[in-house]
Structure 1
Amino acid sequence: MKRIVACLLLVTAGCRDRSPPAPTEEQSAQLNEAEDMLNAEAANEEGPADRSTGPSNSSD
């Protein structure tokens, strides 16, 4: 009987919800603002320079 109770306690302990709490409305707004700022920053960055028309690095 003690083994059955112990097994039931272990099973119920393993079933509890361990997910993080959902963000509040204020936190969600802050996250959206930060995402918008990062997207704007990424859009302003220049990519690598185009080296296809430049001189080669081989020495003759």
Structure 2
Amino acid sequence: MLDEILENASIRQDRYSRSEVKYYRAVDIKKIQNQIDSLSKEYRELDFKIQEKNWTVNVIE
């Protein structure tokens, strides 16, 4: 969801003259990118721990 917000907020609006509507971002792109990076890091660390357990724990059959 944050990725989608970032993608839509990052679209550059080209204006051909001063009379055209100027767009302003309602969200802080840098803050959203930092949240995405932080969540991605947490996900990778969790995935690493799960994979580590998969290799170290024996399943009883």
Larger-Rg structure:
1
TM-score normalized with structure 1 length: 0.38
Q: With CA pairs under 8 Å and 6+ residues apart, which has the higher RCO, 1 or 2?
A: 2
Q: Which has the higher helix share?
A: 2
